[in-house]
Amino acid sequence: MNLDFLDRVTDPERVPPGRTIESDAVVIGSGAGGAVAAFELQRAGLSVAILEEGPYLTGRDYGRASPLEAVRMLYRKGGLTFTVGNQSVLLPAGLCVGGTTVINSGTSLRALPQAVQRWRDEFGLTDLADHLDDTYARLEDAIGHAPVREEIFGKNGRIFREGAQRAGYRGAVLTRNERGCRGAGRCFLGCPDDAKQAMNVSIIPQALRAGARLYTHCPAKRVLIENGRAAGVLAPRGVTFRAPTIIVAAGAVYTPLLLRRTGARGRGLGRHLKMHPASRVFGLFDEEIRGWEGVPQGYHLEDTLREGISVEGIFLPPSLLGPVLPDFGPRHDALMQQYNRFAILGFRVIEDTEGRVFPSLSSWPILWYWLKRPDIDRLVKAAAISAEILFAAGARKVFTGIHGFEELSSPADLKRLREARVGASDLELSAYHVQGTARMADTPEKGVADPSGQVWGVPGLYVADASAMPSTPIVNPQLSIMAFATHVARGILSRAGRPIDERRPSHLPR
């Protein structure tokens, strides 16, 4: 990867304490929202400072790291962010330039039409919805949006596809953001080849080449409000970034906390915490699968989405698979010896549950999330569908993360699973796609920010990340987060008399 832009990257330790740095806009966060907002503003002629809490890393840094080393290097709190409630749910999140785009699977999908209609009808986001198809097209060009190629599909994906067809489910090859992927199978540990077009190798370099400046290891302490409007950001060591436009894109957990410290009090701030609770099933086959070869997430079910259930292919390295397989001692060792014969499916539900983000006296926020019965039932159904597909593909046994159903020996066990009354504490869960804690809406009673992304009552202060999304796009949200950020940038530039550059962003030379 060409790193000729690194002279635009600064560590605050090289900035004298107490210094004031001025620009036209400050963007807090460099993930899917912050990167796109910064790029659009900078290439339209505004000067932009990007503040990122984590380091700038690329494939040369994490490409040869072990899975546990990569998790420690790239994940916030070593991957141990979790909720409290009737079940603890792990929330993996990136802490680096590019944010969670560095550690996701690269899946790139447009919001489903019913989700867009809800944004329009319930929350008044008419202008965003009207431009959405064009915005998606521009973004897809920029990040290499394309279906997974058959040569990197992998046998894990083929097992999934074959089993789904035999079981009567309609699926499709996923589209992803990548250029030159060779199927290394490490997407969630950071792409070793920088082929996945995460923000750290795609949009952020474009923003820097256009003239933006990036400050790493630079968490925002507080947004400064003067005379009722945003005026700057206080950073570590007394460094102040002054600008009339401040865009908060710190993610759906930390954006509401930062806004609260700033003094924002919008109705719903920190509330409406939405996510996609998820788990997995493992199928043990007689044949060799070698699931680590190829794209881990290359195929998904389409017809279950209307039920609020998403099933996608995944795979795990031994160090992360071992702790979640059942049993211990010789039996556990015997299962791990068959690692090359496992296929894995991941599933998640598009939920009814809403949680809340609370500040705490430590650096760990409190994430309250009480899983509701409809979501528990959907998770059990999703596990049964996934197990059915693996059995249909020829699995000898299937292992789930549900207490009492850790091992299924035949399709006959599925009836017992489907009829079980499972509690939240019986589920082994993680969750993805956190959103909604500072949502955009057409009235302050419904949202924290107005339909342009500007925080109600605080001119110059904007939200441009997943926290602004008022409801789920149903599918993986990265492309939609980027579209929301484009919409926010378009509004800022319109107010400044600088129309957004509608040319499609060019991809990086490799």
Q: Catalytic site residues?
A: 433
Q: Is 462 helix (H, G, I), strand (E, B) or coil?
A: strand
C-alpha span between 269 and 146 (Å, rounded): 36
How many CB atoms neighbour CB 112 within 10 A? 16
H or E, element range at 42:
helix 32-43
Task: Please say whether the beta carbons of 83 and 125 come within 8 A.
Answer: no
Distance from C-alpha of 257 to C-alpha of 241, rounded to nearest angstrom:
19
CB 225, CB 242: distance < 8 Å: no
State the maximum Cα–Cα separation within the chain, in Å, rounded to a whole number: 70
Contacts of 225 (CB under 8 A, 6+ apart): 231, 262, 263, 458, 461
Alpha helix stretches (DSSP H) within 193-328: 203-209, 251-262, 318-321
Residues found in the chain? 510
φ and ψ at residue 192, rounded to 5 degrees: -70, -20
CA of 294: how far to CAs of 291, 347, 415, 420, in Å? 7, 19, 33, 35
Residues 245 and 224: beta-carbon distance below 8 Å: no
Residue 1 contacts residue 59 (beta carbons within 8 Å) = yes
Phi, psi of 455 (to 5 degrees): -60, 130
CB 159 within 8 A of CB 300: no
* In contact, 453 and 468? CB cutoff 8 Å: yes
Beta bridge partners of 245: 25
